Structure 1
Amino acid sequence: MYPKRDGAKYLLVCKSCGYSEEASREDHQAYRMRVTVEKGPRDKIVVIDDETPVGAQVLKGSVTCPKCGHDEVYFWMMQTRSADEPMTRFYRCKRCRYTWREYA
């Protein structure tokens, strides 16, 4: 049963079948619902600064920047999702510094 307010009435309602019964204000407050959001390791935020990341390699001709069309980019890989998922490939244009990603 979960608490619900219908105008001035306090109700306790079953989520499964929809049955409801009137409750006093004290009963209604005793059955308060609280939602707690917990963050896990999958909720990490990856921040890539303006500098070229350590270990980045330069690619010429094989990848083109979608923003300016330049064909020289930095490239590096990083694990951004769970370990059973493939790594994410990042690119940064040498000319305009635009950064984008490609899921492998």
Structure 2
Amino acid sequence: MQFCDDCGAMMVAEGDRMVCTDCDASQPRDADAEEAFVSTTEQDDAGLIVSDETAEYEGKPTASDVTCEECGHGEAWYNIKQTGAADEPPTRFLRCKECGYTWREYK
């Protein structure tokens, strides 16, 4: 990726030249830049974390600082998701280990 020396905007390739997307300045392509690109392999499902409501919670982290709203049990599996903006705290989804009731908690 190259940036314009004049205005700092990103440049796009047009043949053997790089053209600024803002001020139309032009300069030769940087041959070293192409060697610096890194390609990644496609992600597989091996690292996928299932988090929908019907998902099995067995083996997930356990919270003992909660009380089930349905049966009063004091342990639940939990899963954390960022449901709001990045500057807001995440939401903790809990499932009672005793009765299976699921609820969410905002910190």
TM-score (norm 1): 0.46
TM-score (norm 2): 0.45
Higher strand share: 1
